[in-house]
Amino acid sequence: MGTLYFLLFFILISVLFDEGSCTTSSPMVEPSVSSTSTSATEKDFSRKKKLRVLLIRHGESHNNILMEVGYDHYRKHRTGDPSLTDLGHKQAKATASYLNKCNNILLKDIKEVYVSPFLRTLQTAEPIVSSLNISPYVWPEIFEVGGVWEGNVGLDGLSAESIQLLYPTYKIPEDGSISSSGWYKQTKKETFEDAEARVIKVFETLKRWAKDCGAHSSDKTIALVVHGDFINLLLQVALGLEKCRKAVFHAYNTSFHLFDIFEDGNVSILFHNNIDHLITEDKSVLAKVDMIGRV
């Protein structure tokens, strides 16, 4: 009788154990399926070719330092196409040195550099392209929001001959967009609406280049030496955010902003407003981080 009870107890425990095993095995299967699915997604994502875009704001300009006194002082004394300050030149050289010996895999293998036709961006690019051994393209469409202006009157900007004389290795467009009379075609300060439409066209061009990366089955990294308000507006356009006249994406002088555009048009921001390259060996910073500044 005791043996019979023991057998019945053993059978009951076995049944309960089997049911418990079934209960706990179900959730164990789901992560396995999910893991396989995630892995496949990541694998598919990694197969997409991309254009990596590094935005570099220009170094500190003589207009930027006017804001240290105040906005009214800036408006009264600003010039249409200012040069870099001594600090601005130091920032540009520090940027060049960092990119030349950079161990950051995200910033490796910059193939092309595009530069705004303003003097401060041309100056900022000079040590950068020299260290990378690249002849940059001057791209007139990536100029700062507002254009070249003084007192709301539009100015011509640098001529093709002037740029070529100052920077012989820079590639000037052959379509006449930068001519002997300059590159800024408007008679007054560019409106926000015009700037927005221009930046959208620039982004569409970048998307087309990203699609070309897919067609050629190869990734590419490029750098644009540009401006604070331009960076703010381009990132808003890239992310499909509601655009406004305020600075959503701040940009310190020579700050880095990195994003990918995939062949299907999707965008991924990798980092924004980075100034690690401006930290010197003695831990001082070649930047006025309390001043965003103006163009």
pLDDT at 159 over 90: yes
Tens digit of each residue's pLDDT (9 = 90 or more) over 2-32: 444 444 444 444 434 343 433 333 332 333 3
- CB atoms near residue 104 (< 10 Å): 14
How high does pLDDT run on average in the chain?
A: 85
Q: How much is the pLDDT for 281?
A: 78
What DSSP state is assigned to residue 224?
Answer: E
C-alpha of 256 from chain center: 7
Up-side HSE of residue 265: CA atoms within 13 Å toward CB? 5
Give the C-alpha separation, 140 to 118, whole Å: 9
Grade residue 44 by pLDDT with cuts at 50, 70 and 90. Answer: low
Looking at the chain, the whole-number percentage of residues with pLDDT higher than 90 is 69
Taking CB atoms within 8 Å and a gap of at least 24, the contacts of 99-104 are 99/128, 99/131, 99/132, 99/277, 100/131, 100/132
Tens digit of each residue's pLDDT (9 = 90 or more) over 80-137: 999 999 999 999 999 999 999 887 899 989 999 999 999 999 999 999 999 999 999 9
In the chain the first and final C-alpha atoms are separated, in Å, by 98
pLDDT at 175 over 80: yes
Give the C-alpha separation, 125 to 135, whole Å: 10
- Structure token pair of residue 154: 């539009």
Q: How much is the pLDDT for 8?
A: 43
